[in-house]
Amino acid sequence: MHSNMDVVCREVGLRDGLQIIDTFFSTDEKINWMRQEAAAGISSIQACSFVPPKLLPQFRDAEQVAAAALEIDGLWVSALVPNLKGAENAAKAKVHEIGFVTSVSESHNMANVRKTTDQSLEEFKRIIELRDSLPEGQRFKLSSGLSTALGCTIEGRVSPKAVMALAEKFVAAGTDELVVADTVGYSGPTEVKNLVSDVVSNFGGEVDVMAHFHDTRGLGLANVFAALEAGCRMFDASLAGLGGCPYAPHATGNVVMEDMIFMLETAGLRTGVDLEKLVAVREIVARNLPNEPLHGMYVKAGPPKGFQQVSKLK
């Protein structure tokens, strides 16, 4: 875990949040957003996706955004890639971490990247080769996202056995990290606790384990807590819950970062984030995406009386 805090909270708004938004979020403002969040104490960010600009014009400035992110002191910078080509570009950009996502559900993977999971695994192995071809000090960390690990819009329920089997393959291939992802916000905390416990106990000794939830049905934070109970210490979230699902107009997408930080701090876990400063960063998102709903409860209610962040204790 690349942090001296108790938990790593990775901002994915710039990638998962912006991915479904057509309005181009200007490069300068993306950089502004990252800098302000880093100044608030966010230590890990998924800055962009290295995909063909024709496919997702939002990420046409991936190189510039990655370069700017890497200039921010102490910030761990990751990028998502759909294939080897993307990984090559991300590696050229010298990001610290490359994320490669495969859906546990075959039909979802086919719909998403037009590959069977076995074909995705083969592509992943080529990225492993790319990583291992680099001189030791220059290798990126490679992360395997287990998408639809807790349910799929095409297949419905996804069996934990299928998740474990795919995780096993990625670990055997040489991944550095597994991300258990409830891509479509289907699951509840009991399922999460069971699955993440299995992943942590089977693979936690060899690789890092992250969790990625969506708040589509209101269970995002309950699921984060469940994963925490299962031993996971790395979580994705986005400022203001940016990343709403296009099929559920008013539903938040990612877990709201501000609320998650509040929850973790009430648990006595140091996140390294200053909540007051973090909340102030919402203004950048609001200014650039005036038509997107900004989510979050902590921002409305404010801190409880006498509340002290453990991160701010000496």
- Whichever of 68 and 158 has its CB closer to a second copy, that residue is 158
Structure tokens that stand for 9 in this block: 């909270």
Q: Would residue 245 show up in a list of annotated catalytic residues for this protein?
A: yes
Structure tokens that stand for 69 in this block: 């992110």
Q: Does 216 bind a second copy (CB under 8 A)?
A: yes
- Distance between CA atoms of 196 and 226, rounded to whole angstroms? 8
Cβ neighbours of residue 133 under 8 Å, at least 6 residues apart?
Answer: none
Min dist CB 158 to a second copy, Å, is 10
Q: Does 172 bind a second copy (CB under 8 A)?
A: no
Pattern 71-110, a second copy, x by CB under 8 A:
----------------------------------------
Cβ neighbours of residue 196 under 8 Å, at least 6 residues apart?
Answer: 180, 209, 211, 226, 227, 230, 231, 232
Which residue spans within the chain are E strands per DSSP? 8-11, 44-49, 76-81, 97-103, 141-147, 177-182, 208-213, 234-237
Q: In this structure, what DSSP letter does residue 83 have? A: S
- Whichever of 61 and 259 has its CB closer to a second copy, that residue is 259
- Whichever of 108 and 115 has its CB closer to a second copy, that residue is 108
Choose the catalytic residue: 9, 152, 232, 245. Answer: 245
Min dist CB 224 to a second copy, Å, is 7
Cβ neighbours of residue 295 under 8 Å, at least 6 residues apart?
Answer: 215, 240, 241, 242, 252, 256
Closest CA to 69 of 106, 30, 100, 124: 30
C-alpha distance from residue 107 to each of 77, 151, 216 (Å): 31, 12, 21
| Cα angle 173-175-54, degrees, rounded to a multiple of 5 | 100
- Whichever of 16 and 215 has its CB closer to a second copy, that residue is 215
Q: Does 305 bind a second copy (CB under 8 A)?
A: yes
Pattern 16-45, a second copy, x by CB under 8 A:
------------------------------
Q: Does 206 bind a second copy (CB under 8 A)?
A: no
Q: Is 159 helix (H, G, I), strand (E, B) or coil?
A: coil
**Interface stretch with a second copy, choices 10-18, 43-51, 58-66, 252-260 (CB under 8 A):** 252-260
Among 17, 99, 189, 243, binds a second copy (CB under 8 A): 189
How many residues touch a second copy (CB under 8 A)? 52
* Residues lying near a second copy in the complex (CB under 8 A): 151-157, 184-191, 215-219, 221-222, 224-226, 229, 245, 247-252, 256, 259, 262-268, 296-298, 300-302, 304-307
Kindly list the catalytic residues. 245
